[in-house]
Amino acid sequence: MNTDNAKIRELSRRAYKYGFVSDLPSDALPRGLDEQVIRLISAKKSEPQWLLDWRLKAFRHWLTMREPTWQNVHYAPIDYQDIVYYSAPKPKTPGPKSLDEVDPELRTMFAKLGISLAEQERLTGVAVDAVVDSVSVATTFKRKLAEVGVIFCSFAEAVQQHPELVRRYLGSVVPYSDNFFATLNSAVFSDGSFCYVPKGVRCPMELSTYFRINAADTGQFERTLIVAEEGAYVSYLEGCTAPMRDNNQLHAAVVELIALDDAQIKYATVQNWYPGDAEGRGGIYNFVTKRGKCAGARSKISWTQVETGSAITWKYPGVILQGDDSVGEFYSVALTANYQQADTGTKMIHIGRNTRSTILSKGISAGHGQNTYRGLVKVQKAASGARNHSQCDSLLLGSQCGAHTFPYVEVKNPSARVEHEASTSKIGDEQLFYCRQRGIREEDAVPMIVNGFCREVFKELPMEFAVEAQKLLGVSLEGCVG
Partner 1 sequence: MLEIEDLHASVEGHEILRGISLRIEAGEVHAIMGPNGSGKSTLAQVLAGNPGYQVSGVVRYQGEDLLAMPAEARAVAGIFLAFQYPVEIPGVGNLYFLRTALNAVRKQRGLEELDAMDFLALAKERMQLVEMDPELMNRALNEGFSGGEKKRNEIFQMAILQPSLAILDETDSGLDIDALRSVAAGVNALRGADRALLLITHYQRLLDYIVPDYVHVMANGRIVQSGDKALAVELERHGYAHFEAPPAPGEGS
Question: In angstroms, rounded to a whole number, what is the distance separating the alpha carbons of residues 103 and 287?
Answer: 30
- Interaction between residue 164 and partner 1 (CB under 8 A): no
Q: How far is the CB of 166 from partner 1 (least distance, A)?
A: 42
CB of 399 to partner 1, least distance (A): 16
- Where does this chain touch partner 1 (CB under 8 A) — which range of 108-116, 177-185, 352-360, 454-462? 454-462
The CA distance from 353 to 326, in Å, is 8
Residue from the set 360, 435, 446, 466 that interacts with partner 1 by CB under 8 A: 435
Cβ 438 to partner 1 shortest distance, Å: 4
Q: Closer to partner 1 at the Cβ: 4 or 217?
A: 4
* Cβ atoms within 10 Å of 415's Cβ, excluding its own: 13
Binding mask 98-127 for partner 1 (x = CB under 8 A): ------------------------------
Residues 211-250 that bind partner 1 (CB under 8 A): none
| Residue 1 binds partner 1 (CB under 8 A) | yes
Q: Does 449 bind partner 1 (CB under 8 A)?
A: yes
DSSP 197-228: E-TT-B-SS-EEGGGSTT-TT--SS-EEEEEE
Residue 399 binds partner 1 (CB under 8 A)? no
Q: How far is CA 27 from CA 44, 162, 185, 192, in A?
A: 11, 28, 21, 20
Within 295-381, strands assigned E span: 300-307, 312-315, 318-321, 327-336, 341-350, 356-366, 370-379
User: Which residues face 359 on adjacent strands?
Assistant: 330, 390
Q: Given candidates 456, 462, 467, 481, which one binds partner 1 under the rule CB under 8 A?
A: 456
Amino acid at 147: E
Select 165 or 449, whichever has its Cβ closest to partner 1: 449
Cα gap 418→78, rounded to integer Å: 38
Q: Which is nearer to partner 1, 10 or 119 (CB)?
A: 10
Stretch that binds partner 1, among 91-99, 239-247, 259-267, 444-452 (CB under 8 A): 444-452
**453 is an interface residue for partner 1 by CB under 8 A:** yes
Interaction of residue 482 with partner 1, rule CB under 8 A: no
SS3 track for 413-475: CCCCEEEEEEEEEECCHHHHHHHHHCCCCHHHHHHHHHHHHHHHHHCCCCHHHHHHHHHHHHH
Q: Does 440 bind partner 1 (CB under 8 A)?
A: yes
Closest CA to 266 of 114, 405, 466: 466
Residues in CB range of 293: below 8 A, 6 or more apart: 172, 173, 256, 257, 258, 259, 301, 319, 320, 322
332 binds partner 1 (CB under 8 A): no
Q: How far is the CB of 261 from partner 1 (least distance, A)?
A: 36
| Nearest-approach distance from CB 7 to partner 1, in angstroms | 10
Q: How many chain residues bind partner 1 (CB under 8 A)?
A: 27
Q: Name every residue whose Cβ is closer than 8 Å to that of residue 439 and which is 6 or more positions away in sequence.
A: none
Instruction: Answer yes or no whether residue 8 interacts with partner 1 by CB under 8 A.
Output: no
Q: Residues 415-434: x/- map of binding to partner 1 (CB under 8 A)? A: -------------xxxx-xx
Confirm or reject binding of residue 452 to partner 1 (CB under 8 A): yes
Radius of gyration over alpha carbons of the chain, in Å?
22
Binding site for partner 1 (CB under 8 A): 1-4, 428-431, 433-442, 444, 448-449, 451-456
